[in-house]
Chain A
Amino acid sequence: MADDSQRFVADHVVGLPRSGIRDFFAIVAAMPQAISLGIGEPDFVTPWHIREAAIFALEKGKTSYTDNLGLIRLRREINTYVEHNFELSYNPDNEILVAVGVSEALDIALRAVLNPGDKVLYHEPCYVSYSPSILLAHAQPIAISTSAEDQFGINPDAVEAAWEPGCKVLMLNFPTNPTGGVTERAKLERIAKFAIEKDLLVISDEIYSELTFEGEHTSIATLPGMQERTIFLHGFSKAFAMTGFRIGYACGPAPLIEAMMKVHQYSMLCAPILSQEAAIEALKNGGPAVAKMKAQYHRRRDLIVRRFNEAGLTCHLPKGSFYAFPSIQSTGMSSMDFCQGLLTEQEVAIVPGTAFGPSGAGFARASFSTSYERIIEATDRIERYVDKVRK
């Protein structure tokens, strides 16, 4: 077949970069012996009682569409959960939308609020989809760099410096994938004040919030004057180990949820009913399983960070998420060279920091969503590799 169909692809899609993770993991896929610390999802299987709820729903013949916003029973449970864990309250009738994962929620939030040419502030290194999602909404991404000195929390001064006329949205993601960074309350308060002053809408992706190991997680939506200008995004993938169920939600002011619902109903219609049933079970009875997994992530984090520092790679303590983000600057190598060398010589896969934006240069992301045994073996190999490249 003639390969000239490229001419049909939209200009703004042609310009989108491919995910750096994808290219790198094509190589890993061909190395079955390699230990991968590159996985961006829990190694745990969804707790059985949640899976069983989905099976039970299927047995009962629940195979239909649901309300565009999601099952009202689920939206009520979401409100109860959010009230209890985040001290936020939303009306289940018109302020909560159930989406196909936070990824969809983020996409429809951006598409619902952005006009072509609007500008969106986001912090970097960040999840690979942020900048592309903004571009797909025909808006202009403006990155705010975060640094190891700030433990990859966002610096309010940097937000103010990055702002320019035309900025409409500020996107936040704490704890952050890939750095595990969080931003303490005092700084969030300054950012909130600035958002009010500049009339910014905040879209806050808090998917890793349950996996906060140090201190209390604070949602920016709880700060004075913020709930009415914040779209709070959350989901089940990380804390409940439900990535494949593809289910998340957005909470926010009714007019914004209504606008998002329009985009959602014409593209997705509704989230799968079986996933919604599983999500209800997760919210009702998933607490103990989440606590158990969190305790294990916590120990793995302490182990991997200690081992990186012993191996000579300075690593800050990620306060949340299941990622460590060690600096590889002491080796004098670029992120990509380091990770490729590590993969070919020691068969350990970690992700070059640059996959998460230019400010990830000099770092690499290592997921500790794997067993103690594999973390020990992988970090032993990394230590051998670092010793060798330093000589």
Chain B
Amino acid sequence: MSSVLQLLLEGEHLNTAQMAQVLGLSESDISAELKRLEGEQILLGWRPVFNPERAQETIVRAVIEVKISPERDGGFDRLATRISAELKRLEGEQILLGWRPVFNPERAQETIVRAVIEVKISPERDGGFDRLATRISRFDSVESCYLMSGSYDLLVIATGSDLREVATFVSERLASVEGVLSTATHFMLRAYKEQGHLLLSPNEDSDKPAVSA
């Protein structure tokens, strides 16, 4: 695994200049590596990280603008080029906290197993589902956790390096928590779209002629 990818997987928000410092490489090395990771569909793109306390309408607009910009040269650099004034303002006011890489889960790490878990829990007199949901959310294995309407309460997306790891998490950690009534685990088999990014095989469009009328 490349050192740039390892650093991204650590999850600290660093810009290309800082990444270059940490790894003792030049900024152009970092940009080239980011381009390669994007080219190989390991890194799918970047998601903005907002301060939830300060989310306003302007943010929604900025996100849409970023999403429709066909950027290809690294997630952070676009701050300096496109729609930079608005984004810089959002950053300055600590509304936009940074950018988080979006990975292709099937390629970024050696092996990764994901499961969707339906969890029924008993609500508490003070705070309803919040305390238990937060406790469950804190496990490293938990990628996402949502309160749902319908026949179960929490939808938990959990990851692990293999089936056994996820199964152990569900049986020994999750199911044993006081207040968890039942769990139903569904393992994901394949990803077709990841957080807005379609996962196409590289040569899907290759039937098109290079030049046409």
Binds B, one of A75-83, A203-211, A370-378: A370-378
- Determine if B139 and A49 form an interchain contact, defined as CB atoms under 8 angstroms apart: yes
Give the distance to chain B from A43, nearest Cβ to Cβ, in Å. 11
Residues of B123-149 contacting chain A, CB below 8 A: 135, 138-140
Instruction: Flag if A56 contacts B176 (CB, 8 Å).
Output: yes
Binds A, one of B7-15, B32-40, B76-84: B7-15
With A59-B178, A295-B6, A299-B22 known to touch, is A48 a contact of B14 (CB < 8 Å)? no
Interface size class of A (residues with CB under 8 A): 20 to 34
Instruction: Please determine whether A49 and B24 come into contact, CB atoms closer than 8 angstroms.
Output: no
List, in ascending order, chain A residues with CB within 8 A of B177's CB. Answer: 56
Bin the interface of chain B by size. 10 to 19
- Give complex CA distance A363, B121 in Å: 56
In the complex, the answer to whether A371 meets B12 with C-beta atoms within 8 Å is yes
A371 surroundings in chain B (CB, below 8 A)? 12
| Contact status B22-A303, CB under 8 Å | yes
Residues of A within 8 A of B7 (CB): 299
A52 in contact with B138 given A371-B12, A372-B12 (CB within 8 Å) = yes
Contact of B135 among A52, A299, A306, A373 (CB under 8 A): A52
- Assuming the contacts A56-B176, A371-B12, A372-B14, asked whether A289 and B22 have C-beta atoms less than 8 A apart, the reply is no
Instruction: Please name all residues of chain B whose beta carbon is closer than 8 Å to the beta carbon of A376 when the two chains form the complex.
Output: 18, 21-22
Give A11 to B212 CA distance when docked, in angstroms: 96
Closest to B10 in A: A296
Is A47 an interface residue, CB under 8 A from the partner?
Answer: yes
A292 CA / B24 CA spacing, docked (Å) = 20
Q: Which A residues are in CB contact (< 8 Å) with B23?
A: 299
B89 interface residue per 8 A CB criterion: no
Contact with A along B169-184 (1 / 0, CB 8 A): 0000100111000000
A387 interface residue per 8 A CB criterion: no
Please provide the chain B residues from 159 to 195 with a CB less than 8 Å away from any CB of chain A in the complex: 173, 176-178
Contacts between chains A and B (CB distance < 8 A), count: 44
Residues of A within 8 A of B178 (CB): 56, 59
A296 to B22: give the CA distance in the assembly, Å: 10
Docked-complex contact B18 and A372, CB < 8 angstroms: yes
**Overall SS of chain A's interface:** helix
Chain A residues positioned under 8 Å from B12 (CB to CB): 371-373
Residue of B nearest to A300 (CB): B22
**Cα(A48)–Cα(B141), bound, Å:** 10
Check A52 against B173 for contact (C-beta < 8 Å): yes
CB proximity of A288 to chain B, nearest CB, Å: 8
Chain A nearest CB: distance from B142 CB in Å?
9
B138 nearest CB neighbor, chain A only: A48
Q: Is A302's beta carbon under 8 Å from chain B?
A: yes
Check A52/B6 contact, CB under 8 A, given A306-B24, A371-B12.
no
Residues from chain B with a CB closer than 8 A to the CB of A306 are: 24
Residues of chain A from 289 to 335 with CB closer than 8 A to chain B in the complex = 289, 292, 295-296, 299-300, 302-303, 306-307
Min CB distance A62 to B, Å, is 13
- List which A181-240 residues lie within 8 A (CB) of chain B: none
What is the chain A residue whose CB lies nearest that of B177?
A56
Selected from B14, B18, B140, B176, the residue in CB contact (under 8 A) with A47 is B140
Q: CB distance A302 to B24 under 8 Å?
A: yes
Chain A residues whose C-beta falls within 8 Å of the C-beta of B135 in the assembled complex: 52, 55
Among A47, A48, A55, A303, max chain B CB count under 10 A is at A48
Question: Contact between A372 and B22 (Cβ–Cβ < 8 Å)?
Answer: yes
Report the Cα distance A295→B22, complex, angstroms. Answer: 13
Chain B residues contacting A289 (CB-CB under 8 Å) are 140
Distance in angstroms between the alpha carbons of A59 and B176 in the assembled complex: 11
Given A299-B7, A371-B12, A372-B14, A49 contacting B22 (CB threshold 8 A): no
Measured CB to CB, the closest approach of chain B to A240, in angstroms, equals 14
Give the CA-CA distance A373 to B177 in the complex, in Å. Answer: 37
CB distance from B191 to the nearest CB of A (A): 23
A296 to B173, CA, bound (A): 26
CB pairs A–B below 8 angstroms (20 shown): A48-B139, A49-B139, A49-B140, A49-B173, A52-B135, A52-B138, A55-B135, A56-B177, A289-B140, A295-B10, A296-B10, A302-B24, A303-B24, A307-B21, A371-B12, A372-B12, A372-B14, A372-B21, A373-B12, A373-B18
**4 other contacts beyond A49-B139, A59-B178, A372-B12, with CB at 8 A cut-off?**
A56-B177, A295-B6, A303-B24, A376-B22
Interface positions of A (Cβ within 8 A of B): 47-49, 51-52, 55-56, 59, 289, 292, 295-296, 299-300, 302-303, 306-307, 371-373, 376
